[in-house]
Amino acid sequence: MFKAVLLEESDGKISAGIQDLDEARLPGLEAAVTVAVEYSTLNYKDGMILNGIGRLVRTYPHVPGVDFAGVVETSNHPDYKPGDRVVSTGWRVGEMTWGGFAQKARVKGDWLVPLPEGLTNKRAMALGTAGITAMMAVMALEEHGVSPVRSAQEGGEVLVTGAAGGVGSVAVTLLAKLGYKVAASTGRQEAHDYLRGLGAATIVERAELAEISKRPLARERWAGCVDSVGGTTLAHVLTETAHGGSVAAVGLAGGNALETTVLPFLLRGVNLLGIDSVMCPQARRRAAWARLVEDLPMEKLDAITETAALGDLLTLGQKILKGQIRGRLVIDVNA
């Protein structure tokens, strides 16, 4: 038996509770690996799933948790053997199949990556989906010519929106470490010192960017942007992105509609780069993990991480949807 957060549906309503489950209930999958989970983590998408928002889960009962890290117990996959430390992010684990808010998980071996050298399982989860997404966003900006040197020469800062959240906190830390001048946008007054501590040079009020721009092009402020908010914020940022600059669109915490014009693209050559860490190919995923180990100061990662237990998840799942979780929240499934 193992403990898990189990979501059940009745008359269209989702209820959640911690239950003891028999291992026979884990999904039967091809080339599967069964993992004794040590840590999981809370992402924005988990908040949606725990609260039955967005129809991300189609089949109940369901065990949520889009990320987990642990130790292989049994394996039908040639790359993994009992005792190996492994990490799972993406591939719709925790949505289409059972996930990591549990003491055991079973997934296809092809979805796993070995625990990256230099990380512990706990730090891998402090990074998790938010961490590799932030890294992939930075890689996409770099691939489109955004660099600390160019940004310094041309005077544009790199903006991070939703900066006090999970993706945002890792992105601010990474960009500052890589030598960018970082502007961090937040709606939380109390997060200003936190963001400066991560390396942000400038704080931008969330409300300033959330207004719909009256003009299709405004003063060029940003050499690049990692945007986890979407909606009117993304539309606003596009009007202020400098010539040849790039915006990595990561999330939709502020809405999924996008009302913009073609002018930032036609007259300023702005690139709008979509980031998908869920179905992203394994080679790029592993490259992102390796870059995180190389580029992210681990003491800063520890400083943005808090730990909670499985039993805290239901409250925390509501808090993340309200933008009330700061940094990264690791779930110790055995606590």
Which residues of the shown chain bind ligand NDP in the complex (CB under 6 A)? 43-45, 129-130, 133, 162-168, 186-188, 191, 206, 228-229, 233, 250-254, 275-278, 320, 323, 325
Q: How far is the CB of 303 from ligand NDP (least distance, A)?
A: 16
Distances (CA, A) of 76 to 34, 85, 221, 292: 9, 15, 52, 29
3-state class of 226 per DSSP? strand
Judged by CB, which is closer to ligand NDP: 57, or 163? 163
Nearest distance from C-beta of residue 205 to ligand NDP, angstroms? 9
Q: What's the closest the beta carbon of residue 64 comes to ligand NDP, in angstroms?
A: 14
Strand order in the sheet with 202-205: 202-205, 182-186, 157-161, 222-227, 241-249, 271-274
Q: How many CB atoms lie within 10 A of CB 17?
A: 11
Q: Which is nearer to ligand NDP, 97 or 133 (CB)?
A: 133
* Distance between CA atoms of residues 69 and 120, nearest Å: 9
Three-state DSSP at 143 gives helix
Give φ, ψ of 146 to 5 degrees.
-80, 125
HEC sequence for 12-80:
CEEEEEEEEECHHHCCCCCCEEEEEEEEEECCHHHHHHHCCCCCCCCCCCECCCCEEEEEEEEECCCCC
CB-nearer residue toward ligand NDP: 100 or 165: 165
Our CB check for ligand NDP shows the closer of 45 and 300 to be: 45
User: Among residues 112 and 163, whose Cβ is nearest to ligand NDP?
Assistant: 163
Whole-number minimum distance, CB 19 to ligand NDP, in Å? Answer: 26
Q: Which is nearer to ligand NDP, 207 or 309 (CB)?
A: 207
Q: Alpha-carbon distance 228 to 171, whole Å?
A: 10
In b/e form, how buried is each residue of 41-69, taking b as 16+ CB within 10 angstroms? bbbbbbbbbbbbeeebbeeeebbbbbbbb
CB of 335 vs ligand NDP, minimal distance in Å: 21
Q: How far is the CB of 198 from ligand NDP (least distance, A)?
A: 11
Shorter beta-carbon distance to ligand NDP: residue 32 or 130: 130
| Least Cβ distance, residue 42 to ligand NDP (angstroms) | 8
CB of 56 to ligand NDP, least distance (A): 10
Give the nearest distance from C-beta 7 to ligand NDP in angstroms: 18
Pick between residue 115 and residue 164 the one whose CB is nearest to ligand NDP. 164
Instruction: Give the residue nearest to ligand NDP (CB).
Output: 165
Residue corresponding to tokens 């269209």: 12
Can you point out the beta strands (E) in the chain?
A: 2-10, 13-21, 32-41, 67-75, 85-89, 104-108, 112-114, 157-161, 182-186, 202-205, 222-227, 241-249, 271-274, 305-309, 328-332
Complex with ligand NDP: residue 6 or 132, whichever CB lies closer: 132
Distance CA 260, CA 253 (A): 18
